[in-house]
Amino acid sequence: MSKLLSPDRSTVLFLGNEAIARGALEAGIQVATGYPGTPSSEVIESLADVARERNLYVEWSVNEKVALEVAAAASFAGLRSMAVMKQNGVNVASDFLLHLTASGTRGGIVLVSCEDPGALSSVNEGESRYFASMLEMPLLEPADFQEAKDITKWAFELSEVIGNIVMLRSVTRMSHASGNVTCGKLPTKSRKAGFEYDGPAMDSQTGPMISTPVVAKHLLRQQKLKDVQRMFDNSPFNRYTGPATPELLIITSSACFLYSCEAVEMLGLQKKAGILKLATTWPLPPKLLEKYLRKAKKILIVEEVMPFLEENVKVL
């Protein structure tokens, strides 16, 4: 039996990408698509290995745009789906992604972008987080292996709450490192696909899945993002560790949280530095950030490649 199908409550050593795949299985995914490219490939490979046992449709698509289109079709039919790619692929998929965020979705759909800071296995350090703010879709970044599994499962739930795609970003040192993960339950029932299209234009469940009327749907998306901010303010995936009133507040996300923890320990700064680890990096949780920003006079933001997190904190 594949370790991806390990029973509930068992503790398993997973690659980060395997943890993402397990989270998708626990969420009840039925369609998984992708285009191969390190560091993302193992997500689809892992799901393909259990496709027969879990009754999944898994495909390597001809490119990332097609992968996203196939996943979106599954979502429109009420199924949970995932499109997986490396950082370059989000550029390829962005044409359709722009329209998908505007039309909305039905079944939970997650776009997984696995990126390569330091170009460990790529010829670039492409940065896809800016697509989240540009196209107004929630962005999640797990910081350890348990969180990679748990937050992937939650991403599908969040997608269905807001009726739109959710982006999950991993990096090489998360995707290709390994850690222990406690498994949850795998669902025993599958959804039946069905597509409706003749309802009112603004009814995302029965109406046509198109981006028009553009202004009205854009307004609706922005209203839902305000709901997302409120959820992010109370998300258990965001957490603070350190003294009640730190001299230095470190704000970080993803694998940089692990780097920050190691640095604080090595420098003996546990009583002086606090770490605010954010898993919900767009839109940012405003009340949570305000609470901790008020506690320190010095702020250090730790992230890889572009100053996406820093820029958005400054906007607040």
Q: List C-alpha distances in Å: 18 to 40, 69, 147, 243.
A: 10, 23, 12, 34
CATH 3.40.50.920 fits 239-315, yes or no: yes
Per CATH, 3-233 and 239-315 having the same topology is answered: yes
Query: Token pair for residue 224?
Result: 């839902």
The tens-digit pLDDT sequence of the chain (316 residues) is: 899 999 999 999 999 999 999 999 999 999 999 999 999 999 999 999 999 999 999 999 999 999 999 999 999 999 999 999 999 999 999 999 999 999 999 999 999 999 999 998 888 999 999 999 999 999 999 999 999 999 999 999 999 999 999 999 999 999 999 999 999 999 999 999 999 999 998 988 999 999 999 999 999 999 999 999 999 999 999 999 999 999 999 999 999 999 999 999 999 999 999 999 999 999 999 999 999 999 999 999 999 999 999 999 999 8
What residue spans define the domains of the chain?
Answer: 3-233, 239-315
- 175: phi > 0 → left, psi -120 to 50 → alpha, else beta; which? alpha
CATH of domain 3-233: 3.40.50.970
